[in-house]
């Protein structure tokens, strides 16, 4: 008989739970990737995001060729495609790694039902997470709503070891190639390749991901805690895309971190621990979304579901384009639009500014990030936006509002990051780099940066908008309280 391996967010051969489990059967294997039609829509997924993910699929296809196999690539409804491929190959079982978002769970339930009606066996494996959503519960058997107690339990639990890449397996032969299977996927599906050497297809594959992991663990991880919040430094892991697309497994990353911990000394230990905490955040947000699927489009905290957002489209457009007049916010958005990635500290600053200064609904920003980010992870995106908007699981009250000037001065003190993405400010004296509106006219002339012409005036006044945001959140909270009496 034959086994189908359905690749999804696990685009690798090493440390792959479903592949490992299927290889143990000793039966011929059919590797399959199914293209989601929604992913081909440019209004929902920008070219950079689609190119990065489809490049990872291309790299998987190349890795399979190196071991004598071939990745089947199909487009259509997953249940229909899997049933059709099963008929073509005589497969009697399907292996895949579990996903946990509401849409993925709905899709997988439909697929399983269709395959079992056809007499096939379906094997869903744990791979995306170290601990699945139901693994960590309170003493009352309820999911954790706060991160710290969740993390405390997460760290105490035993962890799976990485699976070895199969060394002997049987690939199913004789399948006809479909049109477009030999071409780069982005090209085959009509998506533009971004310009620049940083978009080379090979950079998004398993080999590059593993090299990046090794480099980070031997260098930056030991100074991660002290440097990670400064976007002008290359101090983060840059592994978010690899973990999201599955060109690296969470098991491999976690155990490499443990090895780095053993080599760490003094303050280096705290840095590695800080990195592991980021891995825990990733799983925390997955379990929040799993247990609270309404958070895809509704506030986790019901008292803030009805905040009276202004939703000014002109202000939202200025935010999207990096033209708000606040340098750290604008540079962050330029980074996102130009690279498809944004530093995590900047994600918080940009999100706080949109929701608390511009009073634009967090869902608007969440959808914009979903379109642009090459490392888009639905659970992390929802969790991060709701954290910044004070509608989510974070216990801090709604009056935590980032001051964009103070954030810029603290985390980009020499203006390195701002000047990189806003070259119009490159000659602005350091004392004005995060508040250029304070420049006297003669300084503006000397710096070649005239406010309102070369760089925009601030679109809002932070101090007054902070007060307004606090009043709107308090009104929403009071209104909700009245309905509960």
Catalytic annotation, pick one of 309, 323, 337, 437: 309
Query: Which has the closest alpha carbon to 422: 327, 284, 306, 314?
Result: 327
Residues in Cβ contact with 478 at an 8 Å cutoff, skipping those fewer than 6 apart: none
Separation of alpha carbons 237 and 441, rounded Å: 42
Q: Is there a binding annotation on residue 224?
A: yes
In three-state secondary structure terms, 74 is strand
Low-confidence ranges of the chain (pLDDT < 50): 178-180, 182
Pick the CATH number of 2-127 from 1.20.1440.130, 3.40.190.10, 3.40.50.720, 3.40.50.620: 3.40.50.620
Reply yes or no on whether 362 is catalytic. Answer: yes
Dump pLDDT digits (tens) for 437-454.
Answer: 999 999 999 999 999 999
Reply yes or no on whether 385 is catalytic. Answer: yes
- Look at the chain and count its residues: 485
The single-letter DSSP state of residue 98 is -
Tell me, what's the pLDDT at 136? 97
Dump pLDDT digits (tens) for 117-161.
Answer: 999 999 999 999 999 999 999 999 999 999 999 999 999 999 999
Q: Is there a binding annotation on residue 281?
A: yes
Catalytic annotation, pick one of 169, 341, 362, 364: 362
Separation of alpha carbons 385 and 392, rounded Å: 8
Catalytic annotation, pick one of 154, 169, 281, 364: 281
Q: Is there a binding annotation on residue 280?
A: yes
The token duo for 350 is 């940009």
Reply yes or no on whether 278 is catalytic. Answer: yes
CATH of domain 129-159+206-291: 1.25.40.80
Biggest CA–CA distance in the chain, Å, is 80
Helix axes 327-339, 313-321, angle to 10 degrees: 70
Catalytic annotation, pick one of 226, 273, 344, 409: 344
Reply yes or no on whether 309 is catalytic. Answer: yes
CATH architecture type of domain 302-476: Orthogonal Bundle (1.10)
Q: β-strands 91-97, 121-125: how paired?
A: parallel
* CA distances (Å), origin 107, targets 92, 287, 454: 20, 18, 49
> Quick one: how many helices (H) and strands (E) in the chain?
20, 6
Q: Is there a binding annotation on residue 375?
A: yes
Listed as own residue / partner, the contacts of 129-136 with beta carbons closer than 8 Å and 24 or more positions apart are: 129/100, 129/250, 129/283, 129/286, 130/154, 130/159, 130/160, 130/250, 130/251, 130/254, 130/279, 130/283, 131/157, 131/283, 132/98, 132/100, 132/287, 133/100, 133/286, 133/287, 133/290, 133/291, 136/287
Tell me, what's the pLDDT at 411? 98
**Angle subtended at Cα 54 by Cα 104 and Cα 277, rounded to the nearest 5 degrees:** 60
Give the start-to-end residue ranges of the domains of the chain: 2-127, 129-159+206-291, 302-476
Residues in Cβ contact with 142 at an 8 Å cutoff, skipping those fewer than 6 apart: none
In three-state secondary structure terms, 184 is coil
Catalytic annotation, pick one of 6, 169, 199, 385: 385
Q: Is there a binding annotation on residue 238?
A: yes
pTM: 0.95
Q: Is there a binding annotation on residue 240?
A: yes
User: Which H or E run contains 31?
Assistant: strand 28-35
Catalytic annotation, pick one of 27, 132, 278, 409: 278
Separation of alpha carbons 155 and 141, rounded Å: 18
Q: Is there a binding annotation on residue 249?
A: no
């Amino acid at each position: 008989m034959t086994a189908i391996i359905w690749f999804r967010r696990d685009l690798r051969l090493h440390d792959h739970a479903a592949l490992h489990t299927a290889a143990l059967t000793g039966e011929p294997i059919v590797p399959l990737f199914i293209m989601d039609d929604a992913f081909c829509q440019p209004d929902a997924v920008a070219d950079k995001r689609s190119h990065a993910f489809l490049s990872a699929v291309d790299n998987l296809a190349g890795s399979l060729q190196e071991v004598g196999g071939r990745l089947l690539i199909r487009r259509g409804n997953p249940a229909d495609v899997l049933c059709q491929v099963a008929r073509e190959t005589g497969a009697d079982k399907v292996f895949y790694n579990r996903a946990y978002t509401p849409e993925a769970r709905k899709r997988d339930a439909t697929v399983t039902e269709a395959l079992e009606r056809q007499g096939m066996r379906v094997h869903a494996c744990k791979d995306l997470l170290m601990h699945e959503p139901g693994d960590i519960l309170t003493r009352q058997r309820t999911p954790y709503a706060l991160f710290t107690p969740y993390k405390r339990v997460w760290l105490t639990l035993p962890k799976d070891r990485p699976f070895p890449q199969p060394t002997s397996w049987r690939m199913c032969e004789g399948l006809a190639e479909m049109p477009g299977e030999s071409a780069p996927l982005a090209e085959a599906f009509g998506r533009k390749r971004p310009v620049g050497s940083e978009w080379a297809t090979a950079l998004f594959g398993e080999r590059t991901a593993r090299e990046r992991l090794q480099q980070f663990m031997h260098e930056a991880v030991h100074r991660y805690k002290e440097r990670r919040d400064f976007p002008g430094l290359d101090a983060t892991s840059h592994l978010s895309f690899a973990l999201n697309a599955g060109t690296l497994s969470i098991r491999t990353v976690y155990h490499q971190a443990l090895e780095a911990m053993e080599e760490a000394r003094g303050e280096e230990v705290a840095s590695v621990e800080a990195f592991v905490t980021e891995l825990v955040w990733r799983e925390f947000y997955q379990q929040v979304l799993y247990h609270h699927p309404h958070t895809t489009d509704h506030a986790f905290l019901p008292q803030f579901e009805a905040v009276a957002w202004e939703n000014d489209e002109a202000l939202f457009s200025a935010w999207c384009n990096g033209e708000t007049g606040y340098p750290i916010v604008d540079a962050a958005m330029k980074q996102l639009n130009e690279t498809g990635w944004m530093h995590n500290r900047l994600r918080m600053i940009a999100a706080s500014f949109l929701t608390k200064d511009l009073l634009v609904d967090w869902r608007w920003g969440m959808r914009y990030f979903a379109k642009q980010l090459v490392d888009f992870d639905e659970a992390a995106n929802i969790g991060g936006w709701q954290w910044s908007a004070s509608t989510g699981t974070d216990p801090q009250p709604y009056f935590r509002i980032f001051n964009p000037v103070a954030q810029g001065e603290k985390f980009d003190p020499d203006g390195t990051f701002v000047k990189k993405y806003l070259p119009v400010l490159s000659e602005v004296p350091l004392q004005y780099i995060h508040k250029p509106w304070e420049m006297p006219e003669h300084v503006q002339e000397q710096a070649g940066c005239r406010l309102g012409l070369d760089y925009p005036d601030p679109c809002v006044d932070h101090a007054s908008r902070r007060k307004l945001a606090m009043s709107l959140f308090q009104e929403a909270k009071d209104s909700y309280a009245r309905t509960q009496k």
